[in-house]
Structure formats: structure tokens, C-alpha cells
Structure 1
Amino acid sequence: MRVKYSKLLILALVSSLCLVVFYSKLKDAMHTQRDMIKNQSITADTHRKPTTADTHRKPRTTTVKPIIKKKSKNNTPLKLPQLTISEDFIKFIPKNGAFWNRKLHSLLRQFDVAQNQTHEDPRHWFRCQPESFELLQTNIQDIQSYPLLYREFLKGMECRDPPVVIDQPTKCESGNEAEQVFLLFAIKSSLNHFERRQAVRETWGREGLYDNGVQVRTVFLLGQSLEDDPNLDKLISLEAQQFQDLLVWDFQDSFYNLTLKEHVFFKWMLDNCPQVSFVFKGDDDVFANTQAILNHLHSLEPEQASSLYAGQIIFDATPLRDQNIKYYVPQTFYEGPYPPYAGGGGFLFSGNLLPYLYHVSFYIPFFPIDDVYTGMCFKALGITPVKHSGFQTFDIREQDRENACVHKDLLLVHQRTPQQTMRLWRNMHSSMLTC
């Protein structure tokens, strides 16, 4: 009996030991599995692709980061051609006490130093450091009298490299080298201008193969909504996916930031469309005659085509000093004349000038009026704007604005509503039209 009891006791102890070992193993396994799940969750969160909400959400207050010597898409430093700044431009902008004038001539001295260095990427010389109000007040004694948006523009004059929020990197790609893009429409737009963009897509900005076998592409250039605007991010994301023609950068889309929009567009072109023959840059409320533009470009002599800057040219313009006018420029900010420039409603230029325009734009301070700034860049390159009577950026006679025959001989008119654009395009291409 005692022996039997001893055997039972031993069996109970062995069983208990097995249960302890089993429980210990099970507990370890559960810990291991939980750790694996946790690690997988962390890994998935770290390496997941950004969602639409992540990449396109409305920007909040951000820390401005410095511009560094970045790599281009082929992992090599950005290489730009040797730059010469025209002596005529240097002499044209007077040296005086105005803030912008002083800033320009300071940058030109910096350019002289840079020319003696081996730096190929001009971004190496520049840092995005928002100007403090104290600095601005030291240099502009009446800064308090400037409109608020003007002061905001001044604070960010050195910030030139905002990230792309929505990109179209394959816009100019083609499997056939013979089908490289001949003309790119680059249209300045705003987030809430969908109706205008759609009218352009359905009429003169339609992409595809045109007469003479040339390719035409279209992109719309956008910034981000202002603080008090409704959030249109989801709608813009859907539009970009549907049409694949929106370029959106992370800066506020205001009138004074149109110059920044010009600068980042130059860089985008260098990265994505370096072989484009010609660029049409304009507003989303113009009416353009695509075939007439193409005919004009085909008529150019090689020398004209290689240095083209054409549109309705404004000569002998000077700054407007009335604060109630959209194009107001304070006297303590800029003093002097404007160079001849093409009206910003729409103009043409040669694609091969893009690297020079981008390069020289680093040495010309941002100006709050974008078409004046573009004229400065071309003058700095020694390129004279060409007046073309087919560009009517200040519109034509009122009695002719619905006349399709009149528009057949024009390259561009400004302004037209989306409904007028649709109607004009339909009438111009009607088989019943007799001109």
C-alpha cells in the first residue's frame, strides 16, 4: 500500500512539473508573439506608403528648413550651364536706398564670388531663413505701413525650395523619341478654379498629337489653400488622379507667391521635361488658339526659336504707388523702372532657356509681381522680348469678344469665363463657320 502511494505521489509530482514547464513555454510563446505583432505594427507604420490624407492634407505651421545641396532625380548634383548676367541689366536697375535694389546688387556681388568657385549647384549658396521683422524694420523704416500680405511676402523672400505635394513626373515621358513634347502649356491656377481648368482641358489645353505630328501637354500650377479657405485637399487629390495634370507645391497660393511658383516650375521642368521645345505660360482664364500658336512656332527661324520670349510686351512701365491697387509697390521697397516684359496672362518662351532662367533666378530677389520678375530674368540673360500682335492680354474690342472669326487670327485673349471659352472653341471649330 505504501509503495502504491509512493508511485502515485511521484506521478503527481511529474505531472505538476510537466504543467509548469508547459505553462512556462506557453507564456514565453505568447510574449514572443505579442512582441512580433508589436514589431510588425511598428514596421508597417514606419514603412507604409503615405495615404492620400497624409500626402495631401492641408499644411499647418511648419518649421522652415534650409536649402541644401540636394541630388537630382538621377542622384547626381544639379548641373546648370555657365551663366553670364547682362551688363545692361546690372546698369538698368539703379543702385539706391530701396530694399529690393540693395538686395539685388548684394546678390550680384555674391554671383561674382560664385563665378570664381567650383560650385555647380547655386542652391549651395542659399539658405531658407525667414527674414525677422526686426531685420526688415532695420532695413525698411516704414515697414509698418506695408500691407500685411506684403510683409508676409518679405519674410519669405529667401525661401525658394518648397516640397512638391502632388507631382506628375512622367508628364513629358514618351516611348518614342520622335514624339517628345513640342509645346507645354503651364497654366497658373488656384485650388478652387476647377471649372476654369476643366474648360481648358476640353478646349485649347487638350493634350495629344496635333498637326505636323507634334505633341502638346498641359500642367496646372498650384499652391496650397490659405488659412481661412475651405479645405479642398480631397477634391484636389481626386482631380489629380483623374486628369494627371496638377502640380501642387507646399506654399500658400497668394498673388505675391506667383514669383515663387515661377521659380519652382523652372526647377520642375529641369527635372521632368528638359527636352520640351517651347513653353506657354499663362493664366487659367485666358483663351488661347492652340493651332495658331503651333503655326507661329513652326514659322520661326532657328535663331528665333532658340531664344524666344514673346507675348504682349509692356514697355516703359514703372511701379504703382497706390496701396489700393493690386500691383502696388512701396517706394522704399523698389525704386526704378521696370524692364520690358511680356504680360503674365500668357507668353511663349524657348524650352532650352529653362536652365539659364532657373540659374539666374537665384541672383534676382523675388519680386511681388511675377511677370515683371520674369522680364527681369530674361533681361539679365540678355534676351529681348518680342512683341506679337496676336497676344491680347488686355482683351480686344468689346463688340468682337464673341466673334469666332476674330479669334481665329489671335494667339491669346484675356479674360474669358469658362462658358465663353467653351462657346468660342465650339464656334471656331464648327463646320458651319464662314470667315
Structure 2
Amino acid sequence: MKWKWKHIAAVLCLSFLGALVFYVFQVDKVWQVVLYLPGNANPSEEGDHVLTPGPSPYYIIRESNKCPEGKPPPFLVLLILTVAGEVEARNAIRQTWGNESLAPGLGIIRLFLLGVQESKLGHLQQKTLEAESLRHHDIIQEDFLDTYYNLTLKTLMGMNWVAMHCPRASYVMKTDSDMLVNTVFLIHKLLRPGLNPKTNYFTGYIMPSRDMATNRNKSSKWYMPPEEYSNEMYPEFCSGTGYVFSGDMATKLYGTSLNIPLLRLEDVYVGICLERLGIKPTPSPKGLFSNYRVPFSKAIYRNIVTSHHIDPGRMLDYWHKMWV
């Protein structure tokens, strides 16, 4: 029997549909959180790459077994933004406030968030980073350029990871590698594990009203082009140096981000996502969260959550003095 063109076309269509269905069910069941994000891949005037989206929904380093099913969910997930060369800082955090054994019976998960380096040493750094990952199992990485203006992508990567792999976590903290975080105070005094976990909760250092005005100074690190954000005022937002949110917010924030064009300023962008969700940051007691380096004293550091601009040597020294 001779095949007619319409028969051939029908077979080809069915084959294509079958392949498409197979592909959909093989993408690790992440249709709702895939990382095909809108972005601006044009370089900035300084030569930095702005909001370059990853080419695929796959991580380079995923750590998908960090929060296994069948075990109690962690009380706190720490999402720590870092870059490949900050090995000393990561090791200091592992020994101090990021130690996963700080809250016995509750569970802390520590994750360092990275993109990829574009440099002559990039390949060597990547191999070193992968070896570090095999040793500590606390690194997640995606294929976007690791630049200041891509901190938004990096933060969304962390929220995506929590939404995919640890959605029952009670709380999440996003912070930076040059921060000292008093996780003991955060857990036992602010979040208080004896109470039912909060929902729709987001707190940190709420930026003062003078910083809500959109910065149009092209020479500023925090310059916001009007073509990216046209409003003259930002919604209320928390400093990206360190903020805490309830576990349910990871999925909500990430899902909302899929419908909001990315911005170069990560903390502002998260504030816009919160506004879209109709959720306002919860004020914390004054002085708990700081976006500057707090002068050290044992009494003060044992009763705050964050201090900024802490190098690895200070981190180890301060932490030791806090608890002796």
C-alpha cells in the first residue's frame, strides 16, 4: 500500500507529540520552577553582564539530597551568596554561624549559592569548587555569570532550590558571605521553635524611607535605569545583607518572580515581588538586623542577628569571643 502525504504527516505529528510529552516528563518535574527567566543580557557601561539568564533549567551543582524525604524538615535553611574565590570565607562560616550542628534536634541546612566565573582562571576555579562541593555538600551553582548585577538570579536560584527540594522548611535566611549571623539568637529568640512556624512572614533590616527613592545617578552602584524601573519610589524592602522568611514564601516569591521582569538590584526586586503578593515585611526589634559592621562587644553580638563587612579572621575571632 502506498503511503499518502497526509498519512506521513500524521505519523510525523504523532512522533513529535510523543517526543514532546516524553521531554516534559523528563525535566525533573520542575515545570513550575524552571529557570528560563526573563532578563537583560546586554553588558552595562562598566562591562558587567546584567541579569544573564541560564541557558537551561539544570543546575551545575544541585545538592538535591540535602533535604531528604522521610526525614523531619529543617527548621532553618541558610542561603549564603558567595563567589568561587571566597574559600576562606566559606570555611570560616562552616566553623562558626553556618555550622549545621548549632541547633541539635531542629536542623540547619547551609547552602552557598554561586554562578560561574568568566576569567582566565575560571576553569581551574570551577574544578576547585567542584572538589569543595564533594567534600562539604553545601554548594549549589547554576550557569549564569557570577556578577553583582546577577545577584537577583542567584537569590532566585536559592528560592527555587527550597521550593523544589525543601518546601517544608520552617524558615529560610538569605545573606552574604561577609556577614556574621548570630544563628543561635535568630533561632531561639526571634523565630522561637517552640511556637508554630509563621506563614507569609518576611523580616530583616527594612530600608529607611530615604532609600526608597529610585536612584537615577549613573555613577552610583545602585543606579536604576528608568527603562528597567520607571517608578520614582520603590516599595518597602529589606536590605539584601540579610533577611529571613517563612518556608512557604520561597515558592510564593519564586512563582511571583516568573511574572515580573528582573531588576539588577536584588533586594529591591524581592520587595517588588512582596508587593505583588500583598505581603509587607514585618518590622523586627530595633537593632537586630544591621547592614553595617557593628562595633564588637560580646554583650551586643550575643543579642543581634546580623553584622556586615566581617572578614574571615574577624568572623572566627568574634564567634569565639561570643561564646566563651
TM class by smaller structure: 0.7 to 0.9
Deviation at 1:229, TM superposition (A): 4.9
Alignment partner, residue 394 of structure 1: 292
Alignment partner, residue 342 of structure 1: 238
Counterparts in 2 of 1:8-407, with a 5 A limit?
70-71=24-25, 76=29, 78=31, 121=32, 147-149=45-47, 152-153=49-50, 156=52, 161-173=56-68, 176-177=71-72, 180-208=73-101, 210=103, 213-231=105-123, 232-295=125-188, 296-298=190-192, 302=196, 305-316=198-209, 317-336=212-231, 337-388=233-284, 389=286, 390-396=288-294, 401-407=295-301
Distance 2:127 2:41 in 1: 34
Distance 2:38 2:242 in 1: 32
2:107 aligns to what SS in structure 1?
strand
| Structure 1 gap ranges (5+) | 1-68, 79-120, 134-143, 431-435
Inter-CA distance 229–411: structure 2 relative to 1 (3 Å threshold): same
1:406 aligns to what SS in structure 2?
helix
Inter-CA distance 236–291: structure 2 relative to 1 (3 Å threshold): same
Deviation at 1:249, TM superposition (A): 0.8
1:251 aligns to what SS in structure 2?
strand
Distance 1:300 1:371 in 2: 30
1:200 aligns to what SS in structure 2?
helix
CA deviation profile, 1:48-94 (whole Å, cap 9, x unmatched): xxxxxxxxxxxxxxxxxxxxx84477x6564xxxxxxxxxxxxxxxx
Deviation at 1:387, TM superposition (A): 2.2
Distance 1:429 1:280 in 2: 22
Alignment partner, residue 304 of structure 2: 410
One-letter identity of the residue aligned with 1:171: K
Distance 2:202 2:309 in 1: 21
TM-score (norm 1): 0.62
TM-score (norm 2): 0.82
CA deviation profile, 1:150-172 (whole Å, cap 9, x unmatched): 6x426x46x68553111211111
One-letter identity of the residue aligned with 2:273: C
Deviation at 1:265, TM superposition (A): 2.1
Distance 2:252 2:55 in 1: 16
**Over the residues paired in the alignment, what is the CA RMSD in angstroms?**
2.8
Distance 2:26 2:245 in 1: 24
CA deviation profile, 1:287-326 (whole Å, cap 9, x unmatched): 0111100011117965x81121000001431222222221
Distance 2:245 2:41 in 1: 36
1:247 aligns to what SS in structure 2?
strand
Does the 8 Å CA contact 1:282/1:345 hold for their aligned counterparts? yes
Does the 8 Å CA contact 1:181/1:217 hold for their aligned counterparts? yes
Does the 8 Å CA contact 1:70/1:77 hold for their aligned counterparts? no
Inter-CA distance 259–203: structure 2 relative to 1 (3 Å threshold): same
Q: Which has the higher helix share?
A: 1
CA deviation profile, 1:317-350 (whole Å, cap 9, x unmatched): 1222222221111234322211111110111001
Inter-CA distance 281–77: structure 2 relative to 1 (3 Å threshold): closer
Distance 2:298 2:149 in 1: 35
Q: Percent identity?
A: 27
| Structure 2 gap ranges (5+) | 1-22
Distance 2:278 2:55 in 1: 24
Inter-CA distance 202–223: structure 2 relative to 1 (3 Å threshold): same
Distance 2:41 2:311 in 1: 41
One-letter identity of the residue aligned with 1:270: A
One-letter identity of the residue aligned with 2:50: F
CA deviation profile, 1:268-290 (whole Å, cap 9, x unmatched): 22221111110010000000111
